[in-house]
Structure 1
Amino acid sequence: MKVARWLPCILVQLAAGSPCDDRYAAWVTDREAFQRKDEPRHLSGLHIVCVWKEAGRLRLEAHMNGVLEKDPLRSDLDEALSLDWGQFRNSLQGALRFTKATYEWGNFHLKQPYGIFAETGRRLRSGTEVLDAGLVLVVEGGQWFWPPVRIGYVRQLPGTPYMLETVSVQPVLFRVRGFLREEECRVIIDMAAPNMSDSDVVQTEKHYRENDTDLRTSTQARLHSSVNPLLQELDLRISNLTRVDVAHNEEVQVLRYRSKEFYAAHTDNFDPKYYENTDFIDKGHRNRLLTVFWYLTNVSKGGETLFPRADGLPPPKDMRSCERGLKVRPEVGAVILWYSLRPNGNGDPNGLHAACPVEDGEKWSANYWVWNKPRDLLISLPDADVDEEYHGEQPVTSNHVSATFRNEHPFPVYLFWKPPHQAREAFMGEISPQAAVSAQTFPLHTWHIRMGADPSSELVAVQEIADQPEQVFVLSSGSGPDEL
């Protein structure tokens, strides 16, 4: 059995306040926002941490489990900053006092290492980066997790034109209006329409059902990103939304609900207790982290997405009923995002959801699932705990790049991504004067800066991404279409 090699940390009584006092409000949630009485009133495994240097020592303050505390945890990490990354991580973990053993699944060697992130969602890779960031989010489950803050909270997504609106705290549920353009919705529907078949239900090995139509009556088509440049663009756009690498994304499942068609309440993640063979989900530690659900049409009446455990309601007795719970009405171009796992990697039963019957019209929508581990690649994460990697004999290093484009012109410019081997450019957003936009990308990807939001507008600059984890490009009067 592996024993965590924590370095000693000294608990101290620090002076009231920290350099992050004015930054916490965007990340912590008031305990009163958690309405359920049958589970802890916090975000298990998400810690809002401030790290700074003072009087020759490295100080730490933490609001544990994403909740604003009157007396946050305070600690002195001593000289941990001078240690190597593995030792620094162990020292930080010791100060926050958490372990991998957060659930009854066992096999914790299969659980991925915890992650440390800047406020932009960028994964940090050294103690120096943590100190430079000051405020960081520590996520025990290993992948970025958007804190809900409170119902109605609206967050401008860094590096995008999109606004992330909190719809619910339990479940953690967000909405982004206008994420898809109407013409994009029509293209997706046209691609899927000739390939529709009856929707099935993933049967559990211990609860097999003969008839799927008892639970689900829609039709569906799966579309792999390779079939169309638009889907490749959406892969990248959703990765920017979730702050999770594209390699974690499952192919999109387009859905059509006609009159009276529905899907009974269910969760999207796989609970190991319902399966005899759990190797395909690493005994539970490889799972669907979140769902980005696309609304491709409006619906005149019915067709809402229902969350029956929202607002502190008890588990529903009838999984087909749409009478109680939080309903999200279909709105063409909008997406909703909810987490099926808690920040510590455990399943979240509050992610239970249903598709209410369509009463008037036809509903087109799509499931887009993001996993907590890569779907097809064996990756050794850059923040892997000492001697711990993803399973696989020959893991490879992730080459994900965070690119920032800064506009020093007195006028706005427009950022486009040029998909590999495709003529069509993908519009990614406006860069205001003296402002910057960040994007998740990969080495050898090409980005275009144009004078207008149309891909036929004047080309100002072209930038190819190098093989470095962080890159900043400044657009100034000396830049031309050959270099940035």
Structure 2
Amino acid sequence: MEDTQEHFMDQEECNNSNKPSSSPYNSPFRSTRLHIQRSNVCSRAYFVVVMVFFHVYILNVIALLLYVHYNNGPGDLVSRDGASSVSVSDSESALTHPAPTSVELQDEDYSQSFSLPRLEGIRVGYVQQVSLLPDKTHEMKTLSLKPLLFEIPGFLSEEECRVVVQLAQLKGLMESQTPAPSQGQEDSNQPLLSLSTEEIFSLLDLNQDGLLQKYEIVSHSHSRDGTWLSPDSLRQILAGLETCPTGVLTLEDFRQVYNMSKGPGKQRSGKLWSRFKQRSKHTWLYQGLGSHHVLQTLRNRVISLTRLPSALVELSEPLQVIRYEHRDFSNAHHDSSPPHSETTCSHTRLAGNTSALAEVSCRYVTVLFYLNSVEDGGETTFPVADNRTYEEQALVQDGVDLTDTQETCGRGNLRIKPTAGTALLWYNHLSDGRGWMGELDEYSLHGDCPVRRGVKWVANSWVNVDPDHQMQAHYQRLVAQRNQAKSGMDEHYKPLSHSDLHQDL
């Protein structure tokens, strides 16, 4: 019996030993271990997939950037970034060209800012120091605020004055285009040409059909010297034509319009335009590359004095040298012209594609040099400098015309005696409030008193600026392109030097 029980107990232990353990300690441990292993396998697989996709995405982005870079080029990327930070006008004016010249670089520099620096007058009599030469400081004195006028003694040396006069004599001087009538001739208040209304109508009527069309009026835009029809009269005639219902002017219509254009206040009083007179001789001296070193030095000194972009000064008019002999003079006048939509500046006319009624001088700054000291007379007069108000009608009082320097030079508000080496600087235009050239400063009216004893030599350096800054920038780009093309042609057809020819042989 005992043997039987022992046998069963041994058999049960044997069976239990063959079965997996189901103890509370082992069972939970094994199940938990198997669950953790499966989770790690899923996490690792998910991580590998994500990393593969991430690397593929990064590689695609890098490939796309390389594709854009090598197809468009770094220059395009820079220009696109820059275009987002500038205005349309700035981006148009800042266009670059291959191998730009120094003139073109100056064009880009100033056209982006569209700013014309102006000197400060502070007050009449104020003296400020200006550095124009490496080893010398000049004093600049404010002579008036209306116009803004400065005097710089010692701007030129005696040697420089002598060289400029000699160069002008070698070039040859010509008579002024508007000489004054000599004594015994008709009164100077009479126009140079006397034409009837019918004759003017006939001159304007190109096809002689008895009707005046708009294109016929515009075609006479070159009549800007005031000898028979001024730009102001042309504007009045054009305005009358535009108000006519038929769009044309008959002789009777033209007579009414033309008579109105000659009325008071319609033609700059007839004094400052069609009756301006002067008696002198003058010539023009080129100041660019290849000119005398004194002329180039003066131009660079003007750049330093005015603080204007060098491209403006370099592309302006040549230096005008004038000789006033005994009793020579010039009536009071403006160096520049008021801006009008119907006119175009003479120096930028080639850059414009539109027709204008007249070409006018656009001179932002005048720098006048006295090349010698005059014994008696020859003063530069500013009749209305620092007046409280300016009215053209007020220039004629009690039959006395302040613009007639022959008779009333001594009555001007400001007169400067010519002294060798002294320079005068004045602004012919006001600022437009945005840093560019604005309206004509009517107080810049000036003239030259008659020379009573001796000879007077002066030189005028004008800085030409178009009131339309985009037109000015366009003009400078055209000049830069032309100079670049010319330099390329010169390089292409450059003659062989002696050494090159010897090597070829």
Normalising by the smaller structure, the TM-score range is 0.3 to 0.5
Question: What TM-score comes out, normalization by structure 1 length?
Answer: 0.47
Structure number with the higher strand fraction is 1
Of structures 1 and 2, the one with the larger relative CO (CA 8 A, separation 6+) is 2
The structure with the greater share of residues assigned to helix is 2
